[in-house]
Amino acid sequence: MDEQKLEADIKAAADKAAAAATKWAGKDWGKRDVKVRAGGGGIYFVGFVGAAIYYVSNATDFWMGVLGILKAMVWPGFLVYEALSKLGA
């Protein structure tokens, strides 16, 4: 008698889990309204690599190379600052 009750409980739990999984898998999750927008990540990465190569190749010691890597991360800020200062803004 105990085995039958245990089997019935297991079957009920499995049916409940299967129903929950089916409900979860059938959810919309808002994916219909997703639009693909290309960012500038690839261009920024190429610029980062170029700037890193430039700064590291001109470094005189290890710590200047580390500083060069950090500068390569923020090179767009340098570019905008210089451009605005040349324009007199």
Per-domain residue ranges for the chain?
A: 41-87
Q: What is the pLDDT of residues 44-88, one digit of tens each?
A: 888 889 989 999 999 999 999 999 999 999 888 888 889 999 998
Contact partners, residue 54, CB within 8 Å, separation at least 6: 68, 72
Gap between the Cα atoms of 67 and 21, Å rounded: 51
pTM of the model: 0.49
Query: Is residue 35 predicted with pLDDT exceeding 70?
Result: no
Gap between the Cα atoms of 15 and 4, Å rounded: 16
